[in-house]
Structure 1
């Protein structure tokens, strides 16, 4: 993994370098900050600025979501997450780059939905107790919820204090994407975080059935959202929560329009 150096300090038996943020993650953070500053000041093509701001912000949140799973699993007893590089915040460590990074970003751009992205492989046998397993699964969605609240607070406090409307539209869209990701991840669908939270508490018979459907969680999720009635219920719930939080619909809709700069 590139961090096994003689004499390097250990943290619970793992080299300290296993916890250092990867250059990829740091580059994403730098892109997020830079593109946000460009959008704030309307420098260059502001639609491209907002596109980079939203996409890099979404990827940063994806990294932190999966990092939260990994760090809770590590604290609960699974040291393998460190050796797999999950604690470095590198998005390319979280399973398949196409399915874990490219597909969720494409869905963000085309559908305006914060689709669950990467995933960490956790050695469940190394973690004792059902509650710890539930907390490992809960850690990721809790990060999305926290992101949502922070971004909404920034909007409520910062709107009108400066910056361009394009910047605030991009921030509103990011908040909306975090909200959809929070709701999707908490759905009790096999294979998703919400389902994994309840899996340890199922009877052996139900757990076997759950494990049978878990690999097809993404397909099941798409099938549910494709159904007009279920999809309508989902978006009605998301829009209701967004209104309750004070997210202006016109603002995040404007953000979605801005990131599709190729349509202009």
Structure 2
């Protein structure tokens, strides 16, 4: 039980900020391309309270984390925030600009993974400090959750960001047909998650992404 409590304390901030920064990035880029929907709703904010979904940001990640500690072979952390409202029709070039609005979320997670790698470097630079070990563990958790969210959201499945990026790149007729998957996308994702297929497919990608990031920063964790 102590291990679970300590793990929750380490993962709490990385999980909350990974999910909320992801959503805020969508709103920020949408504003840059002409859609003020998220801005008017006060959702372009780094305040986690504006983005937290009680189920997706707290209950689901917490449950999966506890399950991972109690069950051998449990899957990775997974969660979501309240989606930032984006009206793609307001974008100056809706189909083209959709690509950048969608890519902003995974891009934010990549930048946050780099940030947490820097935090590990900082922790290693002050080994005598009482904050070094907690900061290093939080950094490892931060890289883990941000890489997972980045890779997961790049899956070409609407309404994930990868699905919207795919729609942006496809010819209009194909994009329309592809968009018809969206009402069933979340259900498909849950089936893939709980069947273990999702972790089998994206697990190796997540592993290699983490290896690349820690190699860039010269970390051996």
TM category, shorter: 0.7 to 0.9
Q: Which residue of 1 aligns with 2:120?
A: 155
Q: Select the residue among 170, 187, 190 that pairs with 1:222.
A: 190
Deviations 1:31-58 (A, max 9, x none): xxxxxxxxxxxxxx89746523421232
Q: Which residue of 1 aligns with 2:167?
A: 199
- Most deviating of 87-96 and 137-146: 87-96
SS at match of 2:159: coil
Matches within 5 A, 1:1-264: 48=5, 51-91=8-48, 93-94=50-51, 97-99=54-56, 101-110=58-67, 111-129=75-93, 130-159=95-124, 161-162=126-127, 163-228=131-196, 231-246=199-214
Give 1:67 shift: 0.9
SS at match of 1:216: helix
For structure 2, which runs of at least 5 residues remain unmatched after alignment? 68-74
Matches of 2:212 and 2:64 in 1, distance apart?
Answer: 25
SS at match of 1:120: coil
- Check 1:196–1:84 CA distance in 2 against 1; reply closer, same or farther (3 A cut): same
- Check 1:233–1:61 CA distance in 2 against 1; reply closer, same or farther (3 A cut): closer
Deviations 1:42-96 (A, max 9, x none): xxx8974652342123212222211110011112111221222212345454485
SS at match of 1:231: helix
Matches of 1:225 and 1:112 in 2, distance apart?
Answer: 9
- Check 1:183–1:121 CA distance in 2 against 1; reply closer, same or farther (3 A cut): same
The CA RMSD measured in Å over matched residues stands at 3.1
Matches of 1:49 and 1:233 in 2, distance apart?
Answer: 30
Larger Rg: 1
Q: TM-score, normalised by structure 1?
A: 0.66
- Check 1:164–1:156 CA distance in 2 against 1; reply closer, same or farther (3 A cut): closer
Check whether the contact 1:115–1:184 (CA below 8 A) recurs between aligned residues.
no
Check whether the contact 1:180–1:238 (CA below 8 A) recurs between aligned residues.
yes
Give 1:150 shift: 1.7
Q: TM-score, normalised by structure 2?
A: 0.77
Give 1:226 shift: 4.3
